[in-house]
Homo-oligomer: A and B are copies of this chain.
């Protein structure tokens, strides 16, 4: 796992912490990172609070390959992400002419007030991340990628930058659905996990029409090992006398 490429996500926003907004950015970024073979190791949701943001950014950028942030880059007083990123890196904020140009694709020059120009006031050294939806850009500084919070805009930004990320070994996964409870299969499943330390075997219970079931998710980088483990799980279910649905082969 020494060549593992890791990432963390910092979701910035009181609206998520108050329950007002259901975050969906985590799942979108998580899924995209899986495609690129990058392991999302941690997510933090922090308030619109300078100390909280600066502390999280500085801790996490030192310990992971990539940091992504969402939220707090709009024109209003509660959008403090750029000021926090500048502080975290110890660099000044400055008006970025390239970012002003981006804004002018959306905003008439006579409407480009000070508040809107905050969206072009970025930490020194920031490399712009394209926003094809509403043009106010995101940016990268060091290993930190600063994205919008609005899902449609965040997704467009992330889709654009994703291909440029250094990927790791693609993590494949294989699901096996067992129509038996976790408690029934747990001991035999643990034995499979012990024999295959290079795979991650997760177990997720469900009930469907009053029947207890368990989805076994097997993840790893070696397709052959994954498919073997999948067959072992299916055989285990057979021995325990419960119905099983595999998904064929690792994806």
Contacts and interface: CB of A to CB of B under 8 A. Distances in A.
Contacts of A15: 202, 204, 217
A202 B189 CA distance: 48
Contacts of A19: 26-34, 40
Interface stretch (A69-77, A81-89, A92-100, A229-237): A69-77
A239 interface: no
Contact of A26 (B16, B75, B193, B201): B16
- Residue among A19, A47, A201, A205 with the most chain B CB within 10 A? A19
A43 interface: yes
A113 interface: yes
A47 B42 contact: yes
Interface string A9-38: 001001111111111101111111110000
A156 interface: no
Contacts of A14: 200, 202, 219
Nearest to A103: B183
B78 A203 contact: yes
Nearest to A118: B186
A109 to B, nearest CB: 13
Which of A16, A77, A200 has the largest number of chain B CB atoms within 10 A? A77
Contacts of A28: 19
Given A18-B219, A113-B183, A183-B111, A201 B44 contact: no
Contact of A113 (B21, B24, B187): B187
A130 interface: no
Interface residues of A toward B: which range?
35 or more
Interface in A117-166: 118-119, 150
A44 B42 CA distance: 7
A64 interface: no
A243 interface: no
A213 to B, nearest CB: 12
A110 to B, nearest CB: 12
A50 interface: no
B190 A77 contact: yes
A169 interface: no
Interface in A181-213: 182-187, 189-190, 193-194, 200-205
Interface centre among A23, A32, A204 (most CB of B within 10 A): A204
